[in-house]
Amino acid sequence: MDLHVSASVYASNNQIEVTWTPTLVPCSDDFIGIYFVEIPRPTGACDYFDYEFVQTNQTSMWWQMVNLRRPLEFRYYSRDHNCSGNYSFAAISPVVQPLNYNEPTQLHLAYGDRIDQMFVSFVTNSSSYIPQCQYGLDPSSLEWQMNGTTVTYTASDMCEGKANTWGPQTFIDPGFMHTILLNSLRPSTTYFYRVGTDEHGWSSIFSFTNRPVNEDSEVTLIAYGDMGLSPVELGAKSTIDRVRARVMSTNITCLLHIGDISYARGIGALWDAFMTQVEPIASHVPYMVGIGNHEYDHVTGGEKDPSGAPGPGGFRPACFDVGPIHIVYYSTEHDFRHSSPQYAWLEGDLRSVNRSRTPWLIVGSHRHMYTSELENPVDLIKLMLQLYLEPLFYKYHVDVNFYAHRHSYERSCPMYQNKCVDDGITQVLIGMAGQDLDSSTYSGAEWSLYHDQQYGYTQVWANRTYLHFTYYHNADDAIVDQFTLNK
């Protein structure tokens, strides 16, 4: 049996069709996988980068390509002994490889500290040339240019196995990550840009609209947590498809992904796949991420984790203004007790918010402060968040607290310490973006105004006096819960 491919070269996010003439009736777990060419064929069945099961009478399948900066091939593996034995290598495709090993891939945007700044980042296979971003107000005239910087990491930088062991399902060379900081951007202005170098080639031209500067503006945010990537998680695909359509059709100011981002869990290539999948979103609106427990999976080797150290590159609690909203990300993966540096930083930031300039105050983190799902045992970090941070947020009149970690959606009344109060915080659990779903039963807590366990995403629209929150199901893109707050 031969596997044929529709192209021998590809660019990131291209589709390649694999076709074959069936010569055997497949077992239910026969599969076609995509492999690094150096993986041994007879013994390497399980060393795929990705795979899909073969159905009876199937003769073709489509693959969305991730530029892993190396030659790849498709292989068909079939189970021996009437589908009860080991996998045997049955067929192979011609080698497919990136048209450009230094294609700018994984483009994404993030806010800088200042309102006139934007970070533009991408990945290639080389650090030989200074990365550049050409940008302007007209796609036919990218009149300005900024240079950036390049970093990478090696297996020895990772804390522990499997992240520091080479292999298609462990560490792979991540390429080189380039970041360019654009300055002096005008507010509420659309810029067109491309990244790359003359030597290695340029990306397509993308666009973003910088955030508004004044408190009388209106903004629209998308928010979720716990997504992962497709096809590993089908829910992630439905979120990416819905959010991508919304970002293309609506004026979205930025996106908040509050932790548990790719679920790579030490499989380096899944970061390439995740960043490739979100590129259509993240190249168009700033993709602002917070840390979750799956960005912090190691249990040994923590001395290599830069986030506990004062040097560059470590995790910092982050805050930023988007129009009339001040947003603070804090970390539930680092100490937040009264004596911690994070608590001091958080209080300092909350105290300094000018509520006449940013009337709305939204905080976000990964782990939940509340859920009415019955937990056994009760989550201790939840109780610690209620003990240490809820009084702080109440004192500084936080409007909305976003979190995830539980894979479900739940929205409270304005509340404080388990009770609805007029001047309380609206607690919103938004961990329903793709990484499977909870099935726990609910306690019937009085503060819980709506909850469900479906895939979806949320949106916040705000001007200086009015905030409208909506929760959408991916299945039909319909609004299933909403609330408004007024100043």
By CB under 5 A, name the binding residues for Fe ion.
Answer: 260, 292-293, 405
> Are 161 and 170 a contacting pair, CB within 8 Å?
yes
Q: Rank residues 382 and 405 by Cβ distance to Fe ion and give the closer one.
A: 405
Q: Rank residues 436 and 452 by Cβ distance to Fe ion and give the closer one.
A: 436
Q: Rank residues 78 and 365 by Cβ distance to Fe ion and give the closer one.
A: 365
CB of 289 to Fe ion, least distance (A): 13
Alpha-carbon distance 472 to 459, whole Å? 8
CB of 189 to Fe ion, least distance (A): 36
CB of 83 to Fe ion, least distance (A): 36
CB of 381 to Fe ion, least distance (A): 10
CB of 364 to Fe ion, least distance (A): 13
Residue where the block lists tokens 């909870």 = 438
The token pair at 247 is: 């970002």
Nearest to 288 by CA among 414, 462, 446, 112: 112
CB of 292 to Fe ion, least distance (A): 5
In degrees and rounded to multiples of 5, residue 412 shows phi and psi of -100, 170
Question: What residue type is assigned to position 424 of the chain?
Answer: G
CB of 263 to Fe ion, least distance (A): 9
Q: Rank residues 12 and 401 by Cβ distance to Fe ion and give the closer one.
A: 401
Q: Rank residues 20 and 274 by Cβ distance to Fe ion and give the closer one.
A: 274
Nearest to 273 by CA among 73, 125, 64: 64
Q: Rank residues 260 and 279 by Cβ distance to Fe ion and give the closer one.
A: 260
> Are 462 and 360 a contacting pair, CB within 8 Å?
yes
Q: Rank residues 72 and 429 by Cβ distance to Fe ion and give the closer one.
A: 429
Distance of CA 332 to the CA centre of its chain: 17
CB of 448 to Fe ion, least distance (A): 20
Alpha-carbon distance 105 to 121, whole Å? 9
Q: Rank residues 270 and 467 by Cβ distance to Fe ion and give the closer one.
A: 270
Q: Rank residues 70 and 407 by Cβ distance to Fe ion and give the closer one.
A: 407
CB of 293 to Fe ion, least distance (A): 4
Q: What is the 3-state secondary structure (H, E, C) of the chain?
A: CCCEECCCEECCCCEEEEECCCCCCCCCCCEEEEEECCCCCCCCCCCCCEEEECCCCCCEEEEECCCCCCCEEEEEEEEHHHHCCCEEEEEECCCEEECCCCCCEEEEEEECCCCCCEEEEEEECCCCCCCEEEEECECCECCEEEECEEECCCHHHCCCCCCCCECCCCECCCCEEEEEEECCCCCCCEEEEEEEECCCEECCCEEEECCCCCCCCCEEEEEECCCCCCCCCHHHHHHHHHHHHHHHHCCCCEEEECCCCCCCCCCHHHHHHHHHHHHHHHCCCCEEECCCHHHCCCCCCHHHCHHHCCCCCCCCCEEEEECCEEEEECCCCCCCCCCCHHHHHHHHHHHHCCCCCCCEEEEECCCCCCCCECCCCCCHHHHHHHHHHHHHHHHCCCCEEEECCCCCEEEEEEEECCEECCCCEEEEEECCCCCCCCCCCECCCCCEEEEECCCEEEEEEECCCEEEEEEEECCCCCEEEEEEEEC
Q: Rank residues 36 and 315 by Cβ distance to Fe ion and give the closer one.
A: 315
Residue in the shown chain whose Cβ atom is closest to Fe ion: 405
Q: Which strands, in side-by-side order, build the sheet including 118-124?
A: 105-111, 118-124, 176-182, 149-151
Q: Rank residues 215 and 226 by Cβ distance to Fe ion and give the closer one.
A: 226
CB of 432 to Fe ion, least distance (A): 12
CB of 260 to Fe ion, least distance (A): 4
Q: Rank residues 284 and 451 by Cβ distance to Fe ion and give the closer one.
A: 451
CB of 139 to Fe ion, least distance (A): 39
Q: Rank residues 73 and 260 by Cβ distance to Fe ion and give the closer one.
A: 260
